[in-house]
Amino acid sequence: MRRIAGFAVWVLWAGMALAADPSASLSSRKAQAAAQRQQLRERIESIQKKIDQQEASRRDAASDLKASESAISTINRRLAALAVQERDIKSDLRGINAKTAQQHALLSHSQAQLADQLRAEYASGLSPWTALLSGDDPQAIGRDLGYLGYVSQARADTVRAIRQAIDALAALRRQSQEQARQLAQVSSQTAKQKADLQAQEKERQHVLARIEAQLKRQRAQAGRLEQNEKSLGGLIGSLDKAIAEQAEAARRAEEKRKAEEAARKARAARERQARQSEERKRQAQEQQQEQQAREHQQAQERQQARAEKEAPAARRAAPPESAPAAMPKGGFRGLSKGLPYPVDGEIQGRFGADRPDGGVWRGIVLRAPAGTAVHAIAAGRVVYANWLTGFGNIMIVDHGQGYLSIYAYNQSLLKRVGDIVGAGDVIATVGSTGGQVETGLYFEIRHKGTPVNPLLWLKH
């Protein structure tokens, strides 16, 4: 475990050291940030493999729930994404329908205008041939032909507008057909995912029914609960150690960077002094040749020396370019009192009270319907998102300063390891995974690995 955490911390330190280098390009920093996130996920996966190996010797029937409950979480996440896609497509269709109605109105207006022009021309009895053959005064004929020219131009413009409206309707019709095709495809995918979800739910119910007697015996064993708590405590201890080592490595990297910067400035000062010494020697030689040239040269050199002294100060005053960070400057600030509840629900199993199946509560249970949104209590970074024996689908968020928040029994985990979350962000949905009979959220707050009473931190 130490070797895995140490290697991951070294990789994270390297990514943070590169982000602190002002000479690194923006694209390189983004690539290193992505690599840092991937390495963190690989570290957590390694920790999970270690836990699975430790649990292998005492695997029981409750572990059979892991596959179906993890699959349900994944399918629910996909359904949420498909719902967003379907909503966007329907919005596009409404826009296309509105534009189609506008084009139909424009087409009707242009057709009516053309009909009015034709009726007016017919009623007046004027045409180029009737005007030429009428035998009227040539000047009157010229006026009639000129009027007919304006009428013909107006008719041509109207016909052109009708053609453009027809072309626009055809384009909108094609767009509507394409959006309808995409909507049908999304609907088909949604139906398939729902069918898969129903199949997984049936499989989960089958597994629960098959092992119900075994789960009852397990809940009666306080020792088993203590083992689950020990597993969770070991996981949190490993995460706390890795986070502390990461912060210490970042601090050492920053000190090293500052030392290198100071050394670079000292070298630059020595080189500047050497150049000034050589310049003074050259000035002394020129003084011997021509007094007037020497005085002129000295004035220029004094002005140049002042510019050189002012330029480094200006460079020192300029703030260094800051690299894009994956978290707030200075890291997350921990937790404060008066936090919002992660989910609204009846409180059961108060902190420190005896559990009905043995042991004591190190957190609280908030009873809520399945699928209810679970919110992050404060800003932080996801450091664990997986299935754990006795806790089902569990998520752990690091808030900095040694504070962790823990969310268990979830139906679905909507965030992944390395994701940055804000206060109030939806990170999971309520469920009854890990062998629970009733749906709800198991919630803990830990400071430096020690459980604390969540009710002292949440709003009254």
The domains found in the chain, sorted by start residue, are: 2-57+220-317 (no CATH), 68-217 (1.10.287.1700), 346-456 (2.70.70.10)
Which amino acid would we find at residue 213?
A
User: What are the CA-CA distances from residue 297 to residues 272, 281, 303 (Å)?
Assistant: 19, 13, 10
Q: What pLDDT is attached to residue 383?
A: 95
Which amino acid would we find at residue 150?
Y
Q: What pLDDT is attached to residue 276?
A: 83
Extract the runs of DSSP E, i.e. beta strands, from 171-277.
none
User: What are the CA-CA distances from residue 69 to residues 75, 205, 387, 407 (Å)?
Assistant: 10, 10, 8, 15
Give the separation between CA 366 and CA 344, rounded to whole angstroms: 7
Q: What pLDDT is attached to residue 1?
A: 47
Q: What is the DSSP string of 25-76?
A: -HHHHHHHHHHHHHHHHHHHHHHHHHHHHHHHTT--GGGGHHHHHHHHHHHH
Residue 422 belongs to what H/E stretch?
none
Query: Phi/psi of residue 319, each to 5°?
Result: -70, 140
- For helices 26-56 and 222-289, what crossing angle results, to 10°? 150
DSSP 8-state symbol, 454: G
Helix extents (H) in 375-438: none
CB-count exposure of residue 142 (10 Å: 0-12, 13-18, 19+): exposed
Q: Name residues of the chain where pLDDT drops below 50.
A: 1-23, 57-58, 311-325
pTM to 2 decimals?
0.54
Which amino acid would we find at residue 247?
A
Give ∠ CA 433-437-443 in degrees, rounded to 5.
55
Which amino acid would we find at residue 69?
E
**Tens digits of per-residue pLDDT, 40-73?**
677 767 777 766 665 654 455 556 667 777 878 8
